[in-house]
Amino acid sequence: MLTLAIDMDEVLADAAKKLKAWYYRDYGKTFEDEEVKGKDLKEAVIPEHFSLFRKYCNTPGFFRDLEVMPDAQEVLKELNKQYEVYIVSAAVEFPNSLKDKYDWIMENLSFITWRQICFCGSKSIVQTDIMIDDRVRNFKDFKGRKLLYSAHHNIFETNYERVNNWKEIRQLLL
């Protein structure tokens, strides 16, 4: 079986949606698609709020109830039968996220066992056959097949094979 590493935030779980919702809750500002094209959210707010998104991410509970990306459960369940699947998240960046992320996987992806979960710092140690991720920095040292999952911040990247949603992942890998 081929090994497959799958990122969590912006691939399996919609973290950006909740970050935007919390920013709206605190500052009443919504984000238009245009203003976050090719950018991180922090680049679309005033400099004084630059570090705010990190604070949100390290708030206990933030990652616990994120929405699952459309079709992710169904397609991942199928992939799990044909590939050696690993959920790989650089979760250690936000220590308070670790338990939330684990509980989120157990609740939403109940067919995934603890042996298939890799919470790490740098993803440079990951050498599976395939990696699906929305951050091109995670592809830097990766030698396998790279699938860039589309997100507002990576929309102008042209150097990678791209998937726009889980239906496209199904078409490519199943």
Q: Which is nearer to Mg ion, 44 or 57 (CB)?
A: 57
Please state the closest distance from residue 48 (CB atom) to Mg ion, in A: 26
The contact set with Mg ion (CB under 5 A) reads 7, 9-10, 134
Active site residue 141: no
CA dihedral (171, 132, 19, 58) positive or negative: positive
CA distances from 3 to 24, 92, 159, 171 (A): 39, 22, 22, 18
Residue 116, token pair as written in the block? 């298939």
Report which secondary-structure segment, H or E, holds 87: strand 84-89
Interacting residues of 34 by C-beta distance below 8 A, sequence separation 6+: none
Please state the closest distance from residue 11 (CB atom) to Mg ion, in A: 5
Q: Which is nearer to Mg ion, 10 or 52 (CB)?
A: 10
Active site residue 26: no
Q: Which is nearer to Mg ion, 9 or 28 (CB)?
A: 9
Please state the closest distance from residue 6 (CB atom) to Mg ion, in A: 10
Interacting residues of 107 by C-beta distance below 8 A, sequence separation 6+: none
List the catalytic residues. 7, 9
